[in-house]
Amino acid sequence: MNATIVKPTIEAVMNHNNSKQSAKAIVYKTSGLNLWYGENHALKEINLDIHENEVTAIIGPSGCGKSTYIKTLNRMIELVPSVKTSGTIEYRGRNIFNKSYSVEELRTRVGMVFQKPNPFPKSIYENVTYGPKIHGIKDKRILDQIVEESLKGAAIWDEVKDRLNENAFGLSGGQQQRLCIARCLAVEPDVILMDEPTSALDPISTLKVEELVQELKKDFSIIIVTHNMQQAARISDKTAFFLNGEVIEFTNTDKIFSTPLDKRTEDYITGRFG
């Protein structure tokens, strides 16, 4: 009896201490980041700190560089030829642009969910096991377990558990996107990047993904690019407003939506442009 009373007390104290120091570890530290597509200066002197177990939303009008920024975080941007960068992005204290940092290693820790659901033309099961398999996990029992836990983690297990061997293309758009999230979870990442994950989905599927994001932030740090300001307000802890490749404002979400400091932020969130 005593133990049950004492234990939560200790946890409560610890939590209290944590929040007092606001000691959530920094996952990504971006300092003086510039990025050019050829001659086009797409990101200008970006400085952003992203914290553990938070949802950080990135908002801004089309072409403001928000997708470019999120794709830089896992160096996916390098798939575009003629991209040049300067400045640093530290992930857990290591500069990801460092020559010795392998991009495969980075992407194993930093998963990504894309704008359009992009399952592989394979079975649901194979979609989820793709990541673990490329990292050398062959044990069928472990793979089975990964599949179940990842699909449960992405809140789609109940819908697909009886048809794991069917082609993923048979799923609805919303289900496909949650499968992609499950596929991303299967490699046990630390951070999940989401590039407008609901822009191709209907409202109900969008709601499911939003609820899922709330669940996932307990275990992961999430950075989400969104066009939808209500979505940012609903699901994120912090919000960064991008405009023409610059960060105009970056602070707590409730603050940015209630008392924005910059006139341009206010104009954007009140719908005067964008």
Partner 1 sequence: MKLIDHAKVLKQMKSRKASNIFFKLLFMAATTFGLLVLGILLYRVITQGIGYLDFQFLQNLPSRKPEQAGVKTALIGTIWLMGVVAPVTLLLGVGTAIYLEEYARKNRFTRFIQVNISNLAGVPSIVFGLLGLTVFVRALALGTSILAAGFTMSLLVLPIIIVASQEAIKAVPKELREASFGMGATKWQTILNVVLPAAIPGILTGGILALSRAIGETAPLVVLGLPLFLAFLPKSVFDMFTVLPMQIYNWTGRPQEEFQGVAAAGIIVLLTMLIIMNSIAVYIRNKFQKRY
Q: Which residues contact partner 1 by CB under 8 A? A: 74, 76, 79, 81, 104-108, 111-112, 114, 116, 118-122, 130-131, 134-135, 180, 183-184, 187
Number of separate helices (H) and strands (E) present in the chain: 11, 10
97-117 in b/e burial notation, b at 16+ Cβ within 10 A? Answer: beeeeeeeebbbebbbbbbeb
Nearer to partner 1, 39 or 104 (CB): 104
Question: Minimum Å distance from CB 21 to partner 1?
Answer: 33
Nearer to partner 1, 184 or 256 (CB): 184
Question: Minimum Å distance from CB 255 to partner 1?
Answer: 32
Question: Minimum Å distance from CB 26 to partner 1?
Answer: 22
Nearer to partner 1, 147 or 247 (CB): 147
- The contacts of residue 189 (CB under 8 Å, 6+ apart) are 108, 109, 110, 111, 220
Question: Minimum Å distance from CB 257 to partner 1?
Answer: 30
Q: Return the structure tokens found at 219.
A: 């275990």
Nearer to partner 1, 105 or 262 (CB): 105
Nearer to partner 1, 10 or 79 (CB): 79
Question: Minimum Å distance from CB 118 to partner 1?
Answer: 4
Calpha distance 100→34 (Å, rounded): 21
Nearer to partner 1, 40 or 82 (CB): 82
Question: Minimum Å distance from CB 187 to partner 1?
Answer: 5
Q: Return the structure tokens found at 109.
A: 């820790």
Nearer to partner 1, 184 or 229 (CB): 184
Question: Minimum Å distance from CB 131 to partner 1?
Answer: 4
In a 13 Å sphere around the CA of 180, the CA atoms on its Cβ side amount to 26
- Of the candidates 160, 150, 155, 111, which has an alpha carbon nearest to the alpha carbon of residue 128? 150
Question: Minimum Å distance from CB 44 to partner 1?
Answer: 25
Calpha distance 251→270 (Å, rounded): 17
Nearer to partner 1, 59 or 70 (CB): 70
188-218 in b/e burial notation, b at 16+ Cβ within 10 A? Answer: bbebbbbbbbbebbeeebbebbbebbeebbe
